């Protein structure tokens, strides 16, 4: 019996986490005496693993200072989460998409640049944990667009690339999927523009949650 596997990105696809990311990045840079990066640039790196994201935002920093910014970011994000300050709302209709796909027998997964702790907190906060069978995070894999997270999801779900679809809001998600022959669908409500996703090779870009379900029918 064939498996249908849908792997979602998290920030920018399932939830709008940009406010927390921008705030934590500003605090991390400030802790090193650096000016906060432009929020528009921070949006562009959401989806990458943290070391790669900091390197993109501050390419002239030395390795030691970049590593320090990464640690300050982790501490700032953890403090916000534990203090109840972190807001990561689900995008409209995404809870219904997850419920519907699960009811239709899809195996569901997440591939994200978040830490496992951060992802677990996010899914639990929205009551979605029970629906996901495979969770791949930055703790144990190279950053997107390297396909390691998606390959691990396929292995855990006992699925082949032809059985799977990657759903994401950035070109990193699309590139990751295309690298191993997985179908890629973009979403229009995230952090990279729809035309960028199409140019990267997405077969389509969902306008909203209802359209996403149509594309997965």
**5-16+88-216 CATH, one of 3.40.710.10, 3.30.1300.10, 3.40.50.1000, 3.30.200.20:** 3.40.50.1000
* Cβ-Cβ contacts under 8 Å for 116 (sequence gap 6 or more): 135, 137, 139, 140
- Asked if the domains at 5-16+88-216 and 18-82 fall in one CATH topology, the answer is no
CATH topology of domain 18-82: DNA polymerase; domain 1 (1.10.150)
Q: How far apart are CA 193 and CA 33, in angstroms?
A: 32
Token pair for 171 = 């070109």
* Cβ-Cβ contacts under 8 Å for 57 (sequence gap 6 or more): 25, 37, 41, 42, 45
Domain segments of the chain as ranges: 5-16+88-216, 18-82
Q: How far apart are CA 93 and CA 87, in angstroms?
A: 17
Q: What is the pLDDT of residue 105?
A: 96
Q: What is the pLDDT of residue 1?
A: 56
Q: What is the pLDDT of residue 87?
A: 87
Mean pLDDT, contiguous 10-residue spans, the chain (217 residues): 90 93 94 94 91 94 95 93 90 97 97 93 96 95 96 97 97 98 98 97 98 96
* Cβ-Cβ contacts under 8 Å for 170 (sequence gap 6 or more): 9, 12, 46, 47, 144, 190, 191, 192, 197
Q: What is the pLDDT of residue 84?
A: 87
């Amino acid at each position: 019996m064939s498996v249908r596997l849908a792997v979602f990105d998290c920030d920018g696809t399932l939830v709008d986490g940009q406010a927390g990311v921008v705030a934590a990045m500003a605090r991390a840079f400030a802790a090193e005496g650096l000016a906060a990066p432009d929020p528009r640039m921070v949006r562009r790196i959401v989806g990458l693993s943290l070391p790669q994201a900091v390197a993109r935002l501050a390419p002239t920093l030395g390795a030691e200072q970049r590593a320090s910014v990464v640690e300050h970011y982790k501490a700032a994000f953890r403090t916000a989460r534990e203090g109840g300050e972190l807001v990561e709302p689900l995008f409209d209709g995404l809870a219904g998409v997850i419920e519907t796909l699960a009811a239709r027998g899809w195996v569901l997964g997440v591939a994200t640049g978040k830490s496992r702790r951060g992802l677990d907190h996010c899914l639990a906060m929205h009551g979605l944990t029970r629906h996901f069978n495979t969770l791949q995070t930055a703790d144990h894999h190279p950053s997107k667009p390297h396909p390691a997270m998606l390959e691990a999801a396929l292995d855990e779900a006992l699925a082949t690339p032809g059985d799977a679809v990657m759903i994401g809001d950035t070109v990193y998600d699309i590139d990751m999927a295309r690298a191993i022959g997985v179908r890629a669908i973009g979403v229009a409500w995230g952090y990279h523009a729809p035309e960028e996703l199409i140019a990267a090779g997405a077969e389509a870009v969902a306008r909203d949650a209802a359209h996403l379900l149509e594309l997965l029918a």
